Amino acid sequence: MDSSWQRTPLYAAHLRSGARMVPFGGWEMPLHYQGILAEHRSVRERAGVFDVSHMGEFLLSGPAALEFLQWITPNDLARLRPGRAQYNWLPNAQGGLVDDVYIYCLAEDSYLMVVNAANIRADWDHLNGLAEGFAGRGLTLQDLSAATALLAVQGPRAASSLQEITDTDLSAVRKNGVIQAAVAGWPVRLARTGYTGEDGFELFCPAESAEALWAAICVLGVTPAGLGARDTLRLEAGFPLYGHEFRPDRSPLTTHYGWVVKDKPWYAREALLAAPREPHLVGLLPQGAIAREGSSVYRGDELVGEVSSGTQSPSLGRPIAMAFVRGEAGPLEVEVRGRRVPAQLVRLPFWPPSPH
């Protein structure tokens, strides 16, 4: 593999666990260890641990931090108290997205922003560009990405497993809560967040303690899980992924995440609200073929869209796909290797399955 790929502090641990390493967003990351299907099932039925240290972390602090974040994002951070986290976007001035992010309020004037690995550079430039308007107002931006490791422990047994190695009462940490805790004796910032559609925690820790924490979590019987399972899990849960569902040249209001936008003034509000909302994101159940990213979607003979993410769903045992499609009425077909197969339109998410 090209030596220019970056490695997380857990690179050696992954190799020892037999990981298949692949390039991802400029990083050399584990695709799987024992296999995507087994890792996926572990997370849905028990618990798995992911190395997501490639993701970026920025600390925004100072008296103007809240006002700055309010100005550059569409969700309302005024409601966000210390110890709470919120999903949010970094829109560009054209109504598309620079990135989608999670923002953790650590204290009154201190916010931790977690960003996608492939976008760290672009996000940092974007934030610093907008921060010029706040010069002299008390705003400090710090890129903590290189010094910070991030482990995601996800699954129905995530809490009971982690509880074995921390004195902090995890039942007191609600969804989207974030606290300082000691886990296996190591200081971590522990948040009840994740990207799998399951209960779980994300542990921010200094890069130096990542290997020891990883080992302490694996010893609990938590299954190491790679980016392959992370992708199938997020797709089943209907979570958009930057570079697939979110792009600089597409409004995020084409997705089912319109709730992110709150009624408040901010810098790109008009551009975001004015951007075209068609084609829009739908869930599809292709029949008898796995439609992958780029597959064409047809209504009759008319080309009406394109698959943005598609895979075989390990939980449902059938192909699933997200696609951007023009118009509402069906029936739809997707083209796989020159052959068109029916694709039933369904509400997102795919998992957990709706009673219908």
Residues in contact with another protein by CB under 8 A are: 20, 31-32, 35-38, 228, 232, 289-290, 292, 311-312, 314, 319, 337
Minimal distance, residue 211 CB to another protein, in Å: 26
Q: Which is nearer to another protein, 57 or 335 (CB)?
A: 335
Rounded to an integer, what distance in angstroms lies between the CA atom of residue 349 and that of residue 235?
8
**Smallest distance, another protein to C-beta of residue 168, A:** 36
**Closer to another protein at the Cβ: 35 or 62?**
35
Nearest distance in Å: CB 317, another protein: 9
Kindly tell me which of 36 and 106 has the beta carbon lying closer to another protein: 36
User: Which residue has tokens 């995507």?
Assistant: 36
- Helical ranges in the chain per DSSP H: 11-16, 36-45, 65-72, 120-131, 158-163, 210-218, 227-236, 269-274
Question: What are the C-alpha distances in Å from 24 to residues 4, 108, 214?
Answer: 12, 35, 21
Q: In 241-338, which ranges are E strands? A: 280-286, 296-299, 302-313, 318-325, 332-336
* Cα(14)–Cα(224) distance, integer angstroms: 9
Q: How far is the CB of 192 from another protein (least distance, A)?
A: 28
**Minimum gap (Å) between residue 20 Cβ and another protein:** 7
The upper half-sphere exposure of residue 144, i.e. CA atoms within 13 Å in the direction of its Cβ, equals 18
Q: Which is nearer to another protein, 81 or 337 (CB)?
A: 337
CB of residue 146 to another protein, shortest distance in Å: 28
Least spacing, CB of residue 336 vs another protein, in Å: 9
Minimum CB distance to another protein smaller for 165 or for 341? 341
Which residue number, 37 or 130, has a Cβ lying nearer to another protein? 37
Q: How many CB atoms within 10 Å of residue 355?
A: 4
Distance CA 70, CA 65 (A): 9
- What is the closest distance, in whole angstroms, from the C-beta atom of residue 25 to another protein in the complex? 16
Quick one: CA dihedral 116, 122, 128, 129, positive or negative?
negative
Separation CA 98–CA 243 (nearest Å): 10
Amino acid at 71: W
DSSP-derived pairing of the beta strands 48-51 and 223-224: parallel
| Rg of the chain taking only CA atoms, in angstroms | 20
Question: Please, which residue, 75 or 223, has the CB nearer to another protein?
Answer: 223
Q: Which structure tokens are listed for 179?
A: 């606290």
Measured from the CB atom, the residue of 268 and 289 that comes closer to another protein is 289
